[in-house]
């Protein structure tokens, strides 16, 4: 059997690792006890006695009087105790998602993907899921402010209007600095604003922009757009540093399509995915073939690939073919074979690289097939070069005022400090931000906008594809939509909702033919959340403009260390740093939460005695080290988005801000540096690494095979399953499930390890954030974890992801060790957990072979020592009323979202019909962007789950133990030559 | 409404009782201080003496000649007046606090409703006296309702038993004055046994509140609405069939009828006016919740009423006979589980149960004659606890 390892220590010496790991665990616990031991036994007894007495007095003598306050006038659609779902739109930090908001008793409590959306197709990302918590963030502004002091809207409006008029006459520019604006109605409002104040310069700024792609397409096709990439149609996908499953452009959409092109439960073919990159990204971890290369070598690689494709296409190759670090012959051949059904992408922000990618795709005839221009992506419109112009103007004193909307350049621009100093001196600086952040802190006026779940709005993420945003809760604070503010300052009293309706009536209603009346059209779109116009298919003419220069361009000298700056899958560009759910989500590859870190290559670390948690300095910045298998030699990857200083109580001062190191070349921001100075230090820094938690001791838990082998034998790689099945003997009576028998299938081939389920689950099940220290103490509460295993060579390992939740074993080892029968088996095959019965012996945890049970070591809700989301009334508004908030001292674990099962069963019973297959979707299943999880009734032979359970790829974790899990895993299939 | 409901007074041990006693001492002492402070408040330019006079008049304590009963005989000052249909002094005080004397006067002396006319007619109330009554009421509205003194019978009994035990023990071990040794022994055993019984009884009732019948902000009578007028439960509790919550009707639902019916046979105009005013003024009616389940219990009316077709009476008792709504069942887990064991499931007619193929076969084959809720997992932990 292939050997899998979770960390380098384990790979080198598995036996020693086991001992060390156990010892480390014991040491940690001992430390913990020592630390807690500030109090003596007597203190304990005193507290114990008093608390018992106090509790007895309070509990037995007085029961709180609860009030029931009904509506005075009940709104028609609201029923107490029943959730409503409203379609809305998420767009923040350049990420778009069409969503459904679950609203219970007036509070949004969960976000789910909208299955009607043609763009995101029920997909969500971790950030979309977690954005719900931002609504209940204590760091939000309670009302408008001037210099940190509250000021009523009327006064603020008067002062800003006066200031705008003065600036307009004085001849100075006022810059309206926004992130990409995909709302068509907002665009018209900004244009109207500019008409009133002609000196307003509308500038779009994205921290991670698509300048390179926009510029390259401007040259190649005469249009600065981001085309539509069809990862589902491609048979061969080649990515040069584009983390399209994690962070690049529109990962939700791409993940869906990518998984579709590799779904072996529907088709007998899958794409082959090549990845060239420095650090091991989420996308690289999913690649069939991965080449660790330095980022500076990408230009050379692209040139060579282009030349080889020219050669095989009978075209004269261009000059400049240097020594390539990777032999591309085979790749070029494969691409040529799949001309028209290949897709080459690059994550570079350098337009010359993107030009080469365009040329390669053009040579392969991919345009019109795997890349189309009928629905360009509009979520990244900003150009770095334009922002550079703004900086020059700002420094030269030509700018008199700045109005910021959705941007935070003081934090996420390399020259943030300079910008902060300049902004402070401006006569007018306004921020629309709804919570504290670095840029807002230096602005004079704060005109807080409502959270997107409190707002009206529209969006056009891709040309011709529209969606609406509607408020799901009454505004919690005194906020105002920026659209209304802008119009107010332009002298117009506008209700943005009315404006939006009028805009849609005027602009979009005439373009459709389905509805006769606007009201019907509006209501229908509002209900569905999305509306699409037929695609305008106008093939763009290819031009070779700029290509020659790109081919002749010399890349940066590849000398010394190279530092690669990436976005983290959880935090993105850092906008959501104050979100504890995202902070606690372990990085998909490194499995580290609460910090960013320097991923260094294995070999170098070994040679220099650097281990995890060592501290190195990179150009003077101190960073903790994570020795990352698969990291290209002489490269270091670090995630951006950390090191916020003004984010709120959770996000302040976590990790290190790398933006100041980011180089800007000709106004364009680059995402790697060459010639970096790396120095060792003797310091250590503790990291919350959860990758080695819950060890399964190296048993055959991940099974995989090669695509070729699978085609011959669908059970390839899963031979053990048949063997175990044939040897099953039991003393226990086989349990009979008379009605339902719930089960879940996890397609390891589809799972991309994004961690979306690990956010969706806490949101649904009130799982608490425990903080860095407790994560280090192996007490992370997530009910679903994604195990990440490496195999083969540490220099370039193969990666497998495996989501593990409670397996709901029919012969559950946990059940028969509970002394108080708090965890029995249900009639429907669920392994139940009765919190109110649990006394916290933790026998079940010790007896669970899958390590999926969690213990509440502390009370995490309403405890100032865990001051994350649940320590204020505002933060607790996110709690799901249908799920118990667990207290200290009880065990908890995945329940298959039993509240959802019960809810749908109740509905079916009332309607007097059987349950439909797929009607029940636990939170993880609902949120999975790649449809890797399937839930259903195994007693129904026609259900999807029954079919998957019968799939030759299906196996169970540790099936030799005969625990009879209700969760099945489908073997991972890699599209590689050998097995 | 600043009410304090102490429904259970007890002690689980002596320490507990002392603790409570100390607490009560502080409670009362602060109360006395509070009262002293508020007496100096002057409402509408009246002196404390005058307000006192108004109060005495209201309570019928003034030595003056009149044949009709005092105000207090109908209008209770304590907020706890469940037996009385008339508005309490505090209710009246609140209603007229913001209104001037003339309105008050005309409301008292020229009543519009029949019930009030019947009782207020031919009252010899002098203008001056009425003014002082109004001043007293205004003062009352400012101060809030008088506190209900918690009943401490159980606690006193418990303490007394404690004293007896102490005495008996001392007598047995040290004093040895009583000749018949059995007496202190019997006293000790009896008192201790009684205490244990009290503790056990309290322990079992812990967290349960059968027969809980708190005062509500509006004297709404289920007996009048359901029993006498025959209104269906679902007319008001509309969501019982499809939501987990049966729903307390929104005030505008009351107005479906009470937009016309403004006077009740028992309560006159005052109580109905509260609902009408609440809607008109946009002020919430804050009902006291009677049926409280612990947070870790999930209960859905929809399953029981919507698909189980249970009668409301099964759990809520003879609501049609209750003027004051009370909790009929103890809502304990044993009560739930027993009912699940006994209740038959509508297995044949509800299409949902088609999934249970095997059980249907057994039914047809006559192996089993009926399916009860517990047979299909109604007593599984995670039906109610999740």
pLDDT (0 to 100) of residue B1: 36
Residue A427 burial by Cβ neighbours in a 10 Å radius (0-12, 13-18, 19+)? middle
pLDDT (0 to 100) of residue A35: 59
Looking at the fold, whether B254 and B367 belong to one and the same domain comes out as no
What tens digit of pLDDT does each residue of A487-514 get?
A: 999 999 889 999 999 999 999 999 999 9
CA distance A375 to A226: 9
What tens digit of pLDDT does each residue of A568-599 get?
A: 999 988 999 999 999 999 999 999 999 999 99
Whether the predicted pLDDT of B28 surpasses 70: no
CB A613, CB A688: distance < 8 Å = no
Neighbours of A255 (CB within 10 A): 28
Residue A534 burial by Cβ neighbours in a 10 Å radius (0-12, 13-18, 19+)? exposed
Nearest-by-CA chain A residue for B9: A61
pLDDT (0 to 100) of residue A312: 84
Greater model confidence, A313 or A812 = A812
**Count of CB pairs separated by less than 8 Å, A with B:** 196
Whether the predicted pLDDT of A92 surpasses 60: yes
Looking at the fold, whether B213 and B193 belong to one and the same domain comes out as no
The DSSP line for B173-214 is III---S-THHHHHHHHHHHHHHHHHHHHHHHHTT--TT---
CA distance A624 to A613: 5
CA distance A195 to A197: 5
Structure tokens at A634: 């002489």
Looking at the fold, whether B359 and B311 belong to one and the same domain comes out as no
Q: What is the mean pLDDT of chain B?
A: 81
Residue B13 covered by a domain:
no
Range of lowest pLDDT (A313-317, A843-847, B81-85, B102-106): B81-85
Query: Across the interface, do B303 and A884 touch by the CB < 8 Å criterion?
Result: no
Q: Please report the beta strands in A352-456, taking only residues with DSSP state E, as ranges in sequence order.
A: 371-377, 399-405, 428-431, 445-446
The DSSP line for B100-137 is -HHHHHHHHHS--SHHHHHHHTT----HHHHHHHHHHH
Nearest CB to A914: which of B239, B303, B351? B351
Structural domain including B156 reads 152-205
Beta bridge partners of A275: A239, A290
CA distance A157 to A486: 10
The DSSP line for B160-182 is HHHHHHHHHHHIIIII---S-TH
Greater model confidence, B261 or B5 = B261
- Per-residue pLDDT averaged across A235-250, rounded? 94
pLDDT (0 to 100) of residue A404: 95
- Per-residue pLDDT averaged across A109-123, rounded? 93
Query: Across the interface, do B242 and A895 touch by the CB < 8 Å criterion?
Result: no
Neighbours of B153 (CB within 10 A): 9
CB B120, CB B270: distance < 8 Å = no
Q: For chain B, how far is it from start to end, CA to CA, in angstroms? A: 34
Would an 8 Å CB–CB cutoff place B352 in contact with chain A?
yes
pLDDT (0 to 100) of residue A32: 65
- Per-residue pLDDT averaged across A117-133, rounded? 92
CA distance A696 to A960: 14
pLDDT (0 to 100) of residue A313: 80
Looking at the fold, whether B106 and B54 belong to one and the same domain comes out as yes
Query: Across the interface, do A902 and B247 touch by the CB < 8 Å criterion?
Result: no
Number of helical (H) and strand (E) elements in chain B, helices listed first:
17, 1
Nearest CB to A832: which of B243, B296, B381? B381
Nearest-by-CA chain B residue for A738: B356
pLDDT (0 to 100) of residue B66: 63
Structure tokens at A580: 């504890």
Pairing of strands A854-855, A891-892: antiparallel
- The complex's ipTM works out to 0.84
- Per-residue pLDDT averaged across B11-30, rounded? 42
Structure tokens at A381: 């419109």
Q: Which of B187, B205, B223 corresponds to the end of one domain?
A: B205
pLDDT (0 to 100) of residue B58: 83
Q: Please report the beta strands in A40-93, taking only residues with DSSP state E, as ranges in sequence order.
A: 67-68, 83-92
Query: Across the interface, do A824 and B252 touch by the CB < 8 Å criterion?
Result: no
CATH of the domain at B62: 1.10.760.10
Beta bridge partners of A289: A274
Beta bridge partners of A92: A95
Neighbours of A661 (CB within 10 A): 18
Q: Which domains are assigned to chain A?
A: 4-15+709-974 (3.30.70.20), 211-377 (3.40.228.10), 556-689 (2.40.40.20)
* H or E element, residue A133: helix A126-135
Max CA separation in chain B (angstroms): 88
Q: Please report the beta strands in A225-323, taking only residues with DSSP state E, as ranges in sequence order.
A: 226-229, 236-240, 272-277, 289-292
CB A968, CB A732: distance < 8 Å = no
Which residues of chain B make contact with A80, given a CB cutoff of 8 A?
239, 243, 245, 247
Residue B234 covered by a domain:
yes
User: What does residue A145 show for φ and ψ, rounded to 5 degrees?
Assistant: -140, 155
CB A212, CB A295: distance < 8 Å = no
Looking at the fold, whether B109 and B156 belong to one and the same domain comes out as no
Select from A485, A480, A488, A430 the least CA-distant residue to A454: A480
What tens digit of pLDDT does each residue of A359-393 get?
A: 999 999 999 999 999 999 999 999 999 999 999 99
pLDDT (0 to 100) of residue B150: 62
Greater model confidence, A699 or A434 = A434
pLDDT (0 to 100) of residue B12: 39
Residue B31 covered by a domain:
no
CB A929, CB B368: distance < 8 Å = no
Whether the predicted pLDDT of A699 surpasses 80: no
Looking at the fold, whether B287 and B384 belong to one and the same domain comes out as no
Whether the predicted pLDDT of A634 surpasses 90: yes
Neighbours of B185 (CB within 10 A): 14
Residue B28 covered by a domain:
no
Query: Across the interface, do B382 and A832 touch by the CB < 8 Å criterion?
Result: yes
Whether the predicted pLDDT of B29 surpasses 50: no
Would an 8 Å CB–CB cutoff place B319 in contact with chain A?
no
What tens digit of pLDDT does each residue of B288-340 get?
A: 999 988 889 999 999 999 888 999 999 999 999 998 899 999 899 999 999 99
Q: Which of B331, B357, B378 corresponds to the end of one domain?
A: B331
Which residue in this structure is represented by tokens 């809030």?
A: B144
Residue B230 covered by a domain:
yes
Query: Across the interface, do A70 and B13 touch by the CB < 8 Å criterion?
Result: no
Select from A748, A727, A719 the least CA-distant residue to A961: A727
Which residues of chain B make contact with A738, given a CB cutoff of 8 A?
356, 358-359, 376
Looking at the fold, whether B298 and B359 belong to one and the same domain comes out as no
pLDDT (0 to 100) of residue A14: 75
Structure tokens at B52: 């006192």
What tens digit of pLDDT does each residue of A539-575 get?
A: 788 998 888 888 888 777 777 899 999 999 999 889 9
* Count: domains in chain B: 4
Residue B14 covered by a domain:
no
Closest CA of chain B from A471, distance in Å: 23
Pairing of strands A678-684, A614-618: antiparallel
CA distance B386 to A897: 9
Looking at the fold, whether B159 and B100 belong to one and the same domain comes out as no
**Angle made by CA atoms A372, A374, A378, in degrees to the nearest 5:** 95
C-alpha to C-alpha distances, A587 to A39, A126, A572, nearest whole angstrom: 36, 11, 11
Where residue A16 falls among pLDDT bands split at 50, 70, 90?
confident
- Per-residue pLDDT averaged across B111-124, rounded? 75
Residue B171 covered by a domain:
yes
Looking at the fold, whether B127 and B228 belong to one and the same domain comes out as no
What tens digit of pLDDT does each residue of A912-931 get?
A: 999 999 999 999 999 998 88
Looking at the fold, whether B302 and B224 belong to one and the same domain comes out as yes
pLDDT (0 to 100) of residue A317: 74
CB contacts under 8 A, B 206-235 vs A, are 206-207, 209, 214
- Per-residue pLDDT averaged across A103-107, rounded? 91
Whether the predicted pLDDT of A59 surpasses 70: no
**Angle made by CA atoms B305, B308, B311, in degrees to the nearest 5:** 50
Nearest-by-CA chain A residue for B303: A906
What tens digit of pLDDT does each residue of A310-358 get?
A: 888 887 777 655 677 788 889 999 999 999 999 999 999 999 999 999 9
pLDDT (0 to 100) of residue A46: 61
Looking at the fold, whether B218 and B197 belong to one and the same domain comes out as no
| Sign of the torsion formed by the C-alpha atoms of A420, A424, A428 and A434 | positive
- Per-residue pLDDT averaged across A645-656, rounded? 92
pLDDT (0 to 100) of residue B117: 79
Whether the predicted pLDDT of A197 surpasses 50: yes
* H or E element, residue B127: helix B127-143
Residue B104 covered by a domain:
yes
Write the DSSP symbol of residue A825.
B
Please give the radius of gyration of chain B, using alpha carbons only, rounded to the nearest integer: 28
- Per-residue pLDDT averaged across A266-295, rounded? 93
Query: Across the interface, do A72 and B251 touch by the CB < 8 Å criterion?
Result: yes
Nearest CB to A60: which of B10, B23, B383? B10
| Sign of the torsion formed by the C-alpha atoms of A155, A157, A160 and A164 | negative
pLDDT (0 to 100) of residue B14: 42
| Sign of the torsion formed by the C-alpha atoms of A506, A509, A515 and A519 | negative
pLDDT (0 to 100) of residue A452: 95
SS3 A572: strand
Neighbours of A712 (CB within 10 A): 9
- Per-residue pLDDT averaged across B209-233, rounded? 90
Where residue A33 falls among pLDDT bands split at 50, 70, 90?
low
Whether the predicted pLDDT of B230 surpasses 80: yes
Q: Which of B101, B117, B143 corresponds to the end of one domain?
A: B143
Which residues of chain A make contact with B295, given a CB cutoff of 8 A?
884-885
Beta bridge partners of A87: A100
Query: Across the interface, do A68 and B377 touch by the CB < 8 Å criterion?
Result: no
Which residues of chain B make contact with A74, given a CB cutoff of 8 A?
250, 252-253
Whether the predicted pLDDT of B20 surpasses 70: no
Closest CA of chain A from B275, distance in Å: 9
Would an 8 Å CB–CB cutoff place B23 in contact with chain A?
yes
Residue A630 — left, alpha, or beta (φ > 0 → left; ψ -120 to 50 → alpha)? Answer: left
Instruction: Give me the helices (H) in chain B, please.
Output: 14-39, 48-58, 89-96, 101-109, 114-120, 127-143, 153-170, 182-205, 222, 233-236, 251-258, 270-281, 301, 312-316, 333-342, 357-365, 381-384
Which residue in this structure is represented by tokens 């009346």?
A: A517
CA distance A327 to A389: 41
Looking at the fold, whether B217 and B325 belong to one and the same domain comes out as yes
Whether the predicted pLDDT of A112 surpasses 90: yes
């Amino acid at each position: 059997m292939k050997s899998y390892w979770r960390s380098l220590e384990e790979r080198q010496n598995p036996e020693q690792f086991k001992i060390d790991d156990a010892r480390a665990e014991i040491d940690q616990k001992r430390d913990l006890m020592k630390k807690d031991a500030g109090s003596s036994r007597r203190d304990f007894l005193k507290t114990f006695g008093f608390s018992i007495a106090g509790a007895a007095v309070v509990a037995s003598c007085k029961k709180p009087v609860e009030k029931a306050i009904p509506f005075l006038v009940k709104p028609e659609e609201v029923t107490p105790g029943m959730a409503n779902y409203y379609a809305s739109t998420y767009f923040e930090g350049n990420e778009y998602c069409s969503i459904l908001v679950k609203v219970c008793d007036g509070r949004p409590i969960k976000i789910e993907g909208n299955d009607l959306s043609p763009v995101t197709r029920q997909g969500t990302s971790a950030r979309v899921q977690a954005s719900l918590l931002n609504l209940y963030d204590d760091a939000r502004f309670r009302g408008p402010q001037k210099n940190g002091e509250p000021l009523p809207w009327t006064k603020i409006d008067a002062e800003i209007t006066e200031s705008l008029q003065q600036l307009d006459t004085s001849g100075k520019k006022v810059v309206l600095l926004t992130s990409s604006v995909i709302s068509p109605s907002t665009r018209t409002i900004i244009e109207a604003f500019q008409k009133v104040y002609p000196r307003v310069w509308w500038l779009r700024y994205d921290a991670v922009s698509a300048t390179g792609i926009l510029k390259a397409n401007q040259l190649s096709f005469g249009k600065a757009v981001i085309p539509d990439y069809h990862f589902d149609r491609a048979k061969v996908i080649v990515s040069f540093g584009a983390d399209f499953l994690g962070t690049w452009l529109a990962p939700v959409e791409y993940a869906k399509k990518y998984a579709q092109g590799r779904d072996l439960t529907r088709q007998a073919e899958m794409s082959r995915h090549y990845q060239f990159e420095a650090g091991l990204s989420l996308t690289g971890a999913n690649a069939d073939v991965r080449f660790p290369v330095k980022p500076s070598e990408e230009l050379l690689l692209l040139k060579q690939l282009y030349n080889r494709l020219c050669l095989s296409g009978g075209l004269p190759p261009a000059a400049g073919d240097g020594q390539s670090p990777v032999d591309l012959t085979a790749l070029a051949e494969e691409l040529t074979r799949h001309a028209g059904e290949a897709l080459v992408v690059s994550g570079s922000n350098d337009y010359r690289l993107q030009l080469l990618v365009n040329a390669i795709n053009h040579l392969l005839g991919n345009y019109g097939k795997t890349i189309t221009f009928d629905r360009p992506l509009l979520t990244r419109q900003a150009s770095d070069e334009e922002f550079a112009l703004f900086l020059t103007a700002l420094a030269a004193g030509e700018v008199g005022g700045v109005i910021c909307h959705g941007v935070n350049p003081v934090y996420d621009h390399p020259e943030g400090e300079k910008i902060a100093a300049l902004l402070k001196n401006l006569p007018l600086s306004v921020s629309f931000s709804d919570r504290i952040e670095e840029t807002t802190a230096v602005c004079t006026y704060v005109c807080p906008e409502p959270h997107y779940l409190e707002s009206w709005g529209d969006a056009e993420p891709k040309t011709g594809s529209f969606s609406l945003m509607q408020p799901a809760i009454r505004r919690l604070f005194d906020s105002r939509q920026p659209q209304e503010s802008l119009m107010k300052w332009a002298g117009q009293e506008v209700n943005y909702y009315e404006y939006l309706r009028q805009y849609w009536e005027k602009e979009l209603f005439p373009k459709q033919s389905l509805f006769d009346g606007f009201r019907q059209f509006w209501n229908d779109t509002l209900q569905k959340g999305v509306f699409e116009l037929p695609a305008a298919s106008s093939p763009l003419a290819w031009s070779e403009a700029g290509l020659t220069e790109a081919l002749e361009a010399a890349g940066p000298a590849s000398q010394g260390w190279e530092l690669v700056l990436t976005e983290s899958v959880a935090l993105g560009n850092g906008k959501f740093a104050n979100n504890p759910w995202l902070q606690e989500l372990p990085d998909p590859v490194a499995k580290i939460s609460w910090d960013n870190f320097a991923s260094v290559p294995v070999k170098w670390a070994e040679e220099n005695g650097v281990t995890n948690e060592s501290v190195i300095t990179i150009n003077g910045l101190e960073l903790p080290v994570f020795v990352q298998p698969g990291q290209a030699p002489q490269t270091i990857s670090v995630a951006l988005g950390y090191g916020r200083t003004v984010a709120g109580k959770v996000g302040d001062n976590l990790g290190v801000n790398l933006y100041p190191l980011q180089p800007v070349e000709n106004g364009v921001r680059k995402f790697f540096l060459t010639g970096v100075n790396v120095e060792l230090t003797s310091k250590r820094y503790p990291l919350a690494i959860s990758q080695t938690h819950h060890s399964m001791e190296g048993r055959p838990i991940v099974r995989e095979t090669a695509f070729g082998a699978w085609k011959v034998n669908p059970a390839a790689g899963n031979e053990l399953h048949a063997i175990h099945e044939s040897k099953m003997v039991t003393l226990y009576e086989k349990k009979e499930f008379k009605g339902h028998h719930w089960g879940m299938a996890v397609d390891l081939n589809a799972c991309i390890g994004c961690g979306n389920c690990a956010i969706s689950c806490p949101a649904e099940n009130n799982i608490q954030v425990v903080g860095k220290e407790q994560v280090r103490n192996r007490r992370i509460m997530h009910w679903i974890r994604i195990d990440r295993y490496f195999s083969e060579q540490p220099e370039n390992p193969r990666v497998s992801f495996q989501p593990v939740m409670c397996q709901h074993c029919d012969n559950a080892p946990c059940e028969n060790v509970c002394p108080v029968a708090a965890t029995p088996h249900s009639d429907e095959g669920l392994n139940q957990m009765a919190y109110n019965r649990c006394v916290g012996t933790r026998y079940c945890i010790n007896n669970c072979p899958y390590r999926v049970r969690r213990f509440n070591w502390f009370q995490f809700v309403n405890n100032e020592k865990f001051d994350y989301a649940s320590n204020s009334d505002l933060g607790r508004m996110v709690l799901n009323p249908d799920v118990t908030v667990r207290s200290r001292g009880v065990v908890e674990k995945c329940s298959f979202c039993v509240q959802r099962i019960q809810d749908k069963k109740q509905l079916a019973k009332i309607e007097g019909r059987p349950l439909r297959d797929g009607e029940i979707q636990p939170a993880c299943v609902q949120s999975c962007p790649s449809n890797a999880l399937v839930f259903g009734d195994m007693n129904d032979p026609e259900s999807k789950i029954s079919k998957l359970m019968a799939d030759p790829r299906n196996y169970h974790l540790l099936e030799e133990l005969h625990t009879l899990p209700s969760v099945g895993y489908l073997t991972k299939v890699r599209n590689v030559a050998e097995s | 409404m600043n009410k304090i409901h102490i429904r259970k007074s007890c002690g689980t041990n002596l320490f507990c009782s002392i603790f409570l006693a100390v607490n009560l001492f502080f409670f009362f002492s602060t109360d006395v201080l509070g009262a002293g402070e508020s007496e100096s408040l002057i409402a509408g330019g009246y002196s404390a003496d005058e307000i006192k006079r108004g109060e005495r008049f209201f309570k019928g304590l003034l030595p003056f000649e009149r044949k009709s009963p005092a105000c207090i005989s109908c209008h209770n000052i304590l907020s706890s007046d469940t037996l009385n249909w008339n508005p309490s002094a505090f209710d009246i005080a609140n209603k007229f606090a913001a209104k001037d004397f003339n309105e008050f006067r005309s409301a008292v002396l020229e009543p519009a409703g029949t019930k009030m006319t019947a009782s207020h007619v031919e009252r010899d109330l002098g203008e001056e006296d009425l003014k002082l009554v109004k001043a007293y009421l205004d003062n009352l509205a400012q101060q809030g309702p008088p506190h209900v003194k918690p009943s401490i019978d159980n606690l006193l009994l418990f303490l007394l038993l404690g004293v007896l035990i102490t005495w008996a023990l001392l007598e047995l071990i040290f004093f040895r004055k009583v000749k018949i040794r059995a007496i202190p022994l019997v006293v000790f055993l009896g008192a201790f046994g009684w205490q244990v019984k009290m503790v056990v009884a309290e322990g079992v009732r812990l967290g349960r509140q059968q027969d809980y019948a708190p005062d509500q902000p509006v004297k709404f009578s289920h007996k009048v609405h359901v029993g006498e007028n025959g209104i269906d439960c679902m007319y008001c509790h509309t969501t019982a069939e499809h939501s987990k919550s049966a729903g307390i009707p929104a005030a505008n639902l009351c107005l479906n009828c009470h937009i016309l019916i403004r006077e009740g046979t028992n309560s006159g105009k005052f109580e109905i006016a509260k609902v009408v005013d609440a809607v008109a003024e946009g002020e919430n009616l804050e009902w006291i919740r009677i049926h409280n389940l612990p947070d870790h219990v999930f209960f859905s009316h929809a399953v029981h009423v919507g698909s189980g077709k249970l009668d409301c009476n099964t759990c809520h008792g003879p609501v049609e006979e209750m003027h004051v709504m009370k909790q009929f069942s103890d809502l304990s887990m044993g009560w739930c589980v027993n009912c699940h064991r006994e209740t038959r499931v509508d297995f044949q007619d509800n299409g949902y149960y088609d999934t249970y193929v095997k059980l249907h076969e057994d039914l047809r084959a006559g192996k089993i004659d009926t399916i009860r809720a517990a047979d299909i997992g109604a007593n599984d932990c995670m039906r109610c606890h999740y």
